[in-house]
Chains A and B, each alone.
Chain A
Amino acid sequence: MLGTLAQHGTDTVGDGAAAAGAHVAHAAESIAAATPGAELMLAVPALTLLAAILCGLCAAFRVRSKLPAWLSVGCLGASFVCVLLTYLNLAGEHGAGGIVPRIAHGFEWLTFQWGRGGTGGEGRSFVADFSLYVDSLTCLWMLFVTGLATLIGLYASEYMVGDVKTAGYSRFFAAFNLFVLSMSCLVMADNLVLLYLGWEGVGLCSYLLIGYFYKKPSAVAAAKKAFIMNRIGDLGLSLGLMLTFVHFGTVQFNELWPLIQSYASGATPTPFIVQLIPVLFTVGAFGKSAQIPLYVWLPDAMEGPTPVSALIHAATMVTAGVYLVARFLPIYALSEWALPIVAWGGALTALLAATIGMAQFDIKRIMAYSTVSQLGYMFAGLGVLGSVGAASHVFTHAFFKALLFLACGAVMHGFAGQLDLRKLSGVQKMPGWRIVGLTMLVGCLNLAGFPLITAGFWSKDMILADAFSHPQFRAIGWILLITAGLTAYYTFRVYFRVFMGPKYFEPGDELHAAAHGDDHGEAHDAAGHVTHSAAPHGQHMAAEGALAAKGHAHDHGHADAHGVFHPHPPGWAINLVLTILALATFAAIPLFFIGDHHGWVGDLVHGSSSNPASAAAAHEAAMHGHGPHGGSFLGMDPHAVMYYVSAVVGIIGIGIAFVLHLAGRTTPATSRADALLPALGPIARAAQHKWYVDELYGVLFVTPLRVLSHIFHLIDKLLVDGLVNLFGWLPRGIGSFVRRSQSGVLHDYGLRMASGLAIILLIVLLGVLR
């Protein structure tokens, strides 16, 4: 039913509010019928939990092999198959895209009843079961979460091989599986409490995995930073959750939608509380998805192993915020401020992160900033009611950003943790690195939005077009357009400098850091600095371009002297995963041309609670006719011209990168861009220092809190400890005074006893006489 209705819905925002209301009401009815068919989804949490437990057992039984990796990949693959089967099963019912929302009931989790009477009486109840809400949005998210988790698990099985001999390998995969479990809870929750459980669970796993190298101070600091920043956001989400229950009396999605819809007609004014809920949700989403002002944790989170960065901090967990906003788009539409906040927050984050990314030298960090920037894109898309574009971008971004991270990880893995783009050059030309280079190129093209042949181009276009189609969001459109150009520039800056140009490398410091238990191959661990003969793959034959550790060129074959470093090309698992992901980005392109609503993803989004049409209608009703209406890009229909505009912008960015960083470059450390630095002056330096945001936060929040903590410490020391000490000293003082009476001489005791007797008798006598 829903599917058909969704198919009938149009993309134009002028669709009637009443139709949207009927639409959702229908959805609720169909859920009430408890359509079966999604029970297979329950296998996902079960399988991942099983894998996590098995990995834990592996750690307990001191398994020192790749067993935990294969267990994890097996379970994750099986859960991906489950999701896929469920989707195919459900999607077949009503044609493309549309899936009737249904609930797979797991078990009764939290059920409270208080007050008198049963249903409908004065008694109230709070129900939050472990049940899965399966609709098309869920399917979309679960498909790429489980799929990417499987691939990245496979990648990690090789990447983490240096830790096989320690408990870290099992620990890594246990946390990895726990993450997928939490993520599936988050995405498939049928109520806000389960969603919150998953939300906290992914935060926990993020913390555990960022701090995987817990002996490294910077990793620990980054883990704490991520966790604390997320706490701020989580506070917003939990407050929103409570407000939801307080106002609507339920936290279950299928009961919430009709209640929310009752405001959508615009007949009754939306209460303040209902307007506040999405704002609070936004705080949570911005925390989890690293948006201004809570974005600073994500770049630091790159301290974790690269697979973690790829899966959690690029592809899946950070899109949880996007998911939250998309899922609750109906309630966002009711609020006057929530959508602008989301839109402007996203757009500004996109621009800011892009400018920072331009000035960084650490390639993983550049990717992190690009993630922040792209997440900003998604939020901007949601904010302008372009949920289809946002979801599409989430989908494509998940693949190409995972691809980019994994390629960077392969470089890092092979060059002993080297990530500085000034110390690497021409990697693609080195033997064994061709696949990495090519897949990196594919990823970069996607990120830069290279026209036509990349999926990233199509999804980015949708957001831009949506932004320009609303007159009040035109500024956002321009910001995003500029950002697109910057993105293309910094993406290809990385590619041109690391993978193209003259061959050169300096190994990273992990060469000498075997004791760190770091995430490079065991080859580097073996003797601390001599690596070649210990490499297991036998693939790291001395490259003709292999250079000495100090950067001196060695053009002969076997450099077997001590102190000579051989780069360590990736093995089959990494190459396989990179290839699959690269192909997947191409495979995603045709998906944009099937279905009725801007592709397959559009169909899925239309079939879910984040239907942009009904949301737009509701928003218009809530804004009393001042909602978004058709805008234009320089007088043209944005949906028609945006393809060309963004293609031009992307190519210009790539071109600038080519001119500045590849053409005529002879040394790895310098480029023509250096010549421009004096002209930019302090701006370049500020961008290099991430616009001093961390320092600003330090001054604004950390320092006052630290001062406050010192004050409290003083209070604790002087007042509280003083009180405690006083109670310790008081008896001692009294005692030292009273002790003098304990002379040890019998007479004194006798005298005191007699005086006491006399006094007591005196008191008794006076009492008797009176």
Chain B
Amino acid sequence: MTGFASAMSALTGAATLTLGQSDFPHPMHQVTLAHYLVLSALLFGIGLIGFITRRNLIIMFLCTELMFQAAGLALIAFSRFHLNHTGETFVIFVLTIAAAEAAMALALVVLLFRRRETLDASAWSELRG
């Protein structure tokens, strides 16, 4: 029953969420790194599945953004676990790359769309062996 009690205290800890407090979030020790990492893996996997299954070019790029998110979440979690801000700094660079990629990719998508009037990725299979 101690487990249940600590679960309750975790709830209360979440309720008393205060930014900037030195001991925030207080019951955080009950959350392990693994939770965040597995969550990140889930997001990554879903993004990957989407990338493979969806045929709309824009959705496919959205899925890559999803995978970027997963990576960012993992980085933040590691940063928190190791108490080192470098992980967060790295997420900034991930955001940078994501933004650049989005700009380029969407420009390309627009070009491709103008060329074939379709967003179907299967329409572009010139590299067929």
Contacts and interface: CB of A to CB of B under 8 A. Distances in A.
- Direct A–B contact in the complex, CB atoms closer than 8 angstroms: yes
Interface of A: 738-747, 750-751, 754
Nearest to A742: B129
Contact of B128 (A743, A747, A750, A751): A743
B63 to A, nearest CB: 10
A744 B121 contact: no
Contacts of B121: 745-747
Contacts of A741: 129
28 contacts: A738-B129, A739-B129, A741-B129, A742-B127, A742-B129, A743-B125, A743-B128, A743-B129, A744-B124, A744-B125, A744-B126, A744-B127, A744-B128, A745-B121, A745-B122, A745-B125, A746-B60, A746-B121, A746-B122, A746-B124, A747-B51, A747-B52, A747-B53, A747-B55, A747-B121, A750-B52, A751-B52, A754-B52
A739 B128 CA distance: 8
Interface in B79-128: 121-122, 124-128
Contact of A750 (B51, B122, B126, B127): B51
A745 B128 CA distance: 8
Given A747-B121, A747-B122, A742 B128 contact: yes
B48 interface: yes
Contacts of A738: 129
Contacts of B55: 747
Contacts, number: 35
Given A745-B122, A746-B124, A747-B53, 18 more contacts: A738-B129, A739-B129, A741-B129, A742-B127, A742-B128, A742-B129, A743-B125, A744-B124, A744-B125, A744-B126, A745-B125, A746-B60, A747-B52, A747-B122, A750-B51, A750-B52, A751-B52, A754-B52
B61 to A, nearest CB: 11
B119 to A, nearest CB: 12
Nearest to B121: A746
A345 B87 CA distance: 102
A740 B129 contact: yes
B118 to A, nearest CB: 14
Nearest to A736: B129
Interface string B37-76: 0000000000010011101000010000000000000000
B126 to A, nearest CB: 6
Given A746-B60, A747-B53, A747-B55, A754 B48 contact: yes
Contacts of A750: 48, 51-52
Contacts of B52: 747, 750-751, 754
Nearest to A751: B52
In the complex, the 8 A-B pairs of residues with the closest C-beta atoms, listed nearest first: A742-B129, A744-B125, A744-B128, A739-B129, A744-B127, A746-B121, A750-B52, A751-B52
Nearest to A741: B129
A747 B63 CA distance: 12
Contacts of B128: 742-744
A738 B126 CA distance: 17
A761 to B, nearest CB: 11
Contact of B129 (A744, A751, A754): A744
Nearest to A754: B48
A745 B127 CA distance: 8
A448 to B, nearest CB: 87
A743 B124 CA distance: 10
Contacts of B127: 742, 744
Contacts of A739: 129
Contacts of A740: 129
Nearest to B63: A750
B116 to A, nearest CB: 14
B90 to A, nearest CB: 21
A499 B126 CA distance: 91
Contacts of A742: 127-129
